[in-house]
Structure formats: C-alpha cells, structure tokens
C-alpha cells in the first residue's frame, strides 16, 4: 500500500477523484495520507475535512526563500510517511531542493497533450483557450513526472479527446477535467504497483 500526499491550490476535484477511486476499490494499492494546500481556505481543504484527512496550508510567501519553503514541505510529507506526491492543480513551483529528495515519485496532471500547451502560465482555462485558438482538433490531459521545469518532466500517460466543432472553453474544460479524473487515479495505481 502506497501513501499519497496530494498538493492542491483550488477546488480539489482531482484530489476528490483520487479519494473516490480509493474508496471504490479501483486503486487497491493506494491510500491518501493528507493534503497540502498552497493557501488556506480553499475548497480542496474542505474536501479533505469531509474525508477526515489531514490538511495543512503551506504558503510559499510565508518563507524567506525556496530552501525554507522546501524544508517545510519536506517535514510535512515526512511526518505522513509519504510514498507518492500527486500535484493536483498545485500552482506553486516546487523548490529544486524538494524535487531532488523525491526522484520519480512526484507527479502532476496537466490539461493538455504535453508538450503542447504547457509551461509557465499555462493552467486552467488558459490552456483550453489556447488549444481552441490554435485550431487544434484533438486535446486531452497528461500525467507526467515533475522536474525543475514547468510541465517538462517525463510523460507517464495521456488521454486524448476529440474537440467538438463550436465547443466553448468552458465545455472543453469540463470534458478534459472528466478525463483527468479517470486518468490520474489509474496512473497513481500503476506507480504504486511498481
């Protein structure tokens, strides 16, 4: 059984999808050990409370530098005996010192088919707007390992969707998010079995 810590900055719907996959028995090799939020009071923290899971906010601006921020993250995931770190809409860049402590076990989900539409500033509906503006016919989501770049780590899995003619950013975002909710628990379960 591998213990997963989820890092989130918003609603926590991917966090919820992982929790649902665990409770339904779809991911028998996973358990959740807690949630780290990039700011207090976000919906993801409310979800964690409803699931009776530990949730803490670790705010980067509260620390003097990246090293201190990384130490606080390291201490928390260490306290939880974390095996896998899953970024789920976590909009804060992790310090290199922290990433170096967890080679091959920090993963992220991104709402496009990387390497397209990834990198600094590409998150949330900005990604889907860019996909539609570029006239793409397919899109999807990507689970990848986290390295020191933005969305540049090794790709572990992708799920592809056809873009519907006349589809809006909001409609596309909803369909891609549904695909994320299916893909992310599957990939985490695969990691846990390795």
Taking all residues of the chain, what is their mean pLDDT, rounded to a whole number? 95
For 2-193, CATH gives 3.40.50.170
pLDDT in tens, 94-152: 999 999 999 999 999 999 999 999 988 888 899 999 999 999 999 999 999 999 988 99
Give the pLDDT of residue 194.
Answer: 86
pTM comes to 0.94
Sheet of 155-162: strand order equals 55-57, 30-37, 2-8, 84-88, 106-110, 138-145, 155-162
164 in catalytic set: no
Which residue is catalytic, options 110, 128, 144, 181? 110
pLDDT digits (tens, 9 = 90+) for 44-57: 999 999 999 999 99
Q: What is the pLDDT of residue 124?
A: 86
**For the chain, what are the domain ranges?**
2-193
pLDDT for res 123: 87
Tell me what the mean pLDDT of segment 157-175 comes to: 96
Please say whether the beta carbons of 177 and 88 come within 8 A. Answer: no
131 exposure class (CB count in 10 Å sphere: 0-12, 13-18, 19+): buried
């Amino acid at each position: 059984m591998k213990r997963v810590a989820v890092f989130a900055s918003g609603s926590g719907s991917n966090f919820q999808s992982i929790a649902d996959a665990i409770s339904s028995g779809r991911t028998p090799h996973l358990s959740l050990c807690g949630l780290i939020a990039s700011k207090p009071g976000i919906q993801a923290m409310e979800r964690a409370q409803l699931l009776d899971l530990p949730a803490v906010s670790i705010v980067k601006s509260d620390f003097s530098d990246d090293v201190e921020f990384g130490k606080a993250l390291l201490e928390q995931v260490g306290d939880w005996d974390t095996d896998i770190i899953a970024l789920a809409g976590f909009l804060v860049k992790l310090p290199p010192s922290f990433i170096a402590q967890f080679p091959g076990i920090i993963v992220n989900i991104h709402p496009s088919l990387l390497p397209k539409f990834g990198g600094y500033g590409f998150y949330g509906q900005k990604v889907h707007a860019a996909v539609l503006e570029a006239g793409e016919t397919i899109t999807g989501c990507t689970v990848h390992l986290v390295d020191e770049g933005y969305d540049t780590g090794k790709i572990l899995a992708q799920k592809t969707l056809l873009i519907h003619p006349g589809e809006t950013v909001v409609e596309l975002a909803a369909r891609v998010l549904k695909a994320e909710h299916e893909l992310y628990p599957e990939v985490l379960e695969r990691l846990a079995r390795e």
